[in-house]
Structure 1
């Protein structure tokens, strides 16, 4: 969950940064989730297991999901800080609850209980894409780089765990290490001038 929802996106973005800067103005849009509010990121577990939580039952897997979405928000905050002074901006967002094919392999009884809520409460994919498109295309939001959006609106009441600059820096350093970038492609902090 940590690798798929967060670390792969971190690596791809870091590897594309030089291209994003030279072809700017550019934007990095990271899909997170309001589920970050239920996260409890434990850096000792991350260091020992390269996973954001332990366990395999439903609630533990959901915790991993929530933690990975917090990582996406912290990544966006730290990336924005590192890119100050460049023509690259970045945003994270909650797309909402969307009717996708994610639950296609649920068991029959799970489908019986879940599907009515799925169709009543979840948005169709076109509606669910609107906040992502807003962050990618809306003019005049460049000064909001590093911020979190939901329903095409800046979220001002984001939780303190998603605004933890020390955690964001620590996560960045660990992510570089996990991806083998610490020595060869380290992004310069401060002036945002690129890789060293």
Structure 2
């Protein structure tokens, strides 16, 4: 166990190396981290930290306010359904919380899809084995394209989901680029619309 003083940002009561607390992770996430640890003991899996949080504050804006996390280091993982020729393929995109995933242009073009849209919640949960509001790029199904905005990969440390609403992961952005199926793109995100009053 460690204290939040060892984390690069945020105000949390406790933090751990994620692979040591599989019970706080969605099963596919815990399995992916353990597989990673078995294949490459030490780095980079040891750099993935876990913070246990209030699931009622899992949404980005509420979370950032409650735990003193800048939106610029918080990343969202979005599941996309890409359609072409009567077939639908699922993929994931990761962008900073200060932006939004450019589904209609960048994602559609990169996946060579006729149409791309956010995947329905029920499908996302069923296919990932994760809770909505906690979707993470770690532990996604084999074969899924994982599109990562370059700004995420360039961020020294980012906060992402853990597969569950109650916990979050903190890790170097560059580590996400090493995940299976990951492709770093410079045009994946567009500015988020201004918040409504």
Q: TM-score, normalised by structure 1?
A: 0.23
Q: Point out which structure has higher relative CO (alpha carbons under 8 A, 6+ apart).
A: 1
The structure with more strand, counted as a fraction of residues: 2
The structure with more helix, counted as a fraction of residues: 1
Q: TM-score, normalised by structure 2?
A: 0.23
Higher Cα Rg: structure 1 or 2? Answer: 1
